[in-house]
Structure 1
Amino acid sequence: MRGGMNNMQGMMKQMQKMQKKMQEEQEKLKEEKVEGSAGGGMVKVIVSGDKQVLDVEVAEEVVDPDDVDMLQDLIVAATNEAMNKADELTSERLGKHTQGLNIPGMM
């Protein structure tokens, strides 16, 4: 029975260590920036690693008052691409700390 307690304590220490490293990585992600673009780069959206939209750039040539729908679609496409890149970055950064673990609710 005693060996089981030591194993449990060791596992808890490992989990606490992993949690701390993951929190550190999440803080670092806030500083990272990823870019999504659409329309051949005519619309660009910059988001942080924690998925906050930081900037939207729209080239003058793509602004057509008679076709606002197209501009909206380009902004949505660029934003979605940037968010997907932020998700990939998060999976990459946090996934290295959970490799080999089968924990429900985690990557």
Structure 2
Amino acid sequence: MFDMLGMMGKMKEMQARMKDAQESLPSITETAEAGAGLVKATVNGRKQLIHLEIDPDLVKPEETEMLRDLIVAATNKALEAVETRVADHLKQATDGLLPNIPGMEGLFGK
């Protein structure tokens, strides 16, 4: 027999765990570099750029275009890396709460 009260309890627990997991996303960070370390970008689990390091040798007017490209490359690498960590973090927060429902496996990313 289907346990509706048990399922409702699990849903409330899952909501609470998801809320806690989402609130902790700023603490998940990833740093990536471009140009052999000349530019380093750090992003958080909310997909926000939170820190940027630029080698002083790149801060020259004639290097502006390359600097722009390296910043974009480093930031995109960091965002890609943090996306996987966020998906794992959210999946872990709700692991074991709901039965394996077909089609729900992609809910948290990968």
- Asked whether the two chains share a fold, i.e. TM above 0.5, the reply is yes
- Aligned counterpart for 1:77 among listed residues 73, 80, 88: 73
- Structure 1 gap segments, 5+ residues each: none
- TM-superposed CA distance for 1:104, in Å, is 8.0
Deviation digits for residues 19-67 of structure 1, max 9, x if unmatched?
A: 2112111112212221121111110111122112111110012233223
For structure 2, which runs of at least 5 residues remain unmatched after alignment? none
Runs of 4+ in 1 over 4 A off after TM superposition: none
Taking only the aligned residue pairs, the percentage that are identical comes to 35
Q: What SS does structure 2 have at the residue aligned with 1:72?
A: helix
Aligned in 2, Cα 1:19/1:105: closer, same or farther, shift over 3 Å? farther
- Partners of 1:40 and 1:69 in 2: CA distance: 17
The match for 2:56 among 54, 60, 71 is 60
TM-score scaled to structure 1, two decimals?
0.81
Q: Secondary structure of the equivalent of 2:42?
A: strand
TM-score (normalizing by structure 2):
0.79
Q: CA RMSD in A?
A: 2.0
Identify the match of residue 38 of structure 2 among 39, 42, 52.
42
Structure 2 counterpart of 1:40, one-letter code: A
Q: How does 1:85-104 map onto structure 2 within 5 Å?
A: 85-96=81-92, 97-98=94-95, 100-101=100-101, 102-103=103-104
**CA distance in 2 between partners of 1:78 and 1:10 (Å):** 46
Larger of the two Rg values belongs to structure: 1
Map Cα deviations across residues 49-90 of structure 1 (whole Å, 9 max, x no partner).
211211111001223322322111100011101111221111
Measured after TM superposition, the shift of residue 9 of structure 1 is 2.2
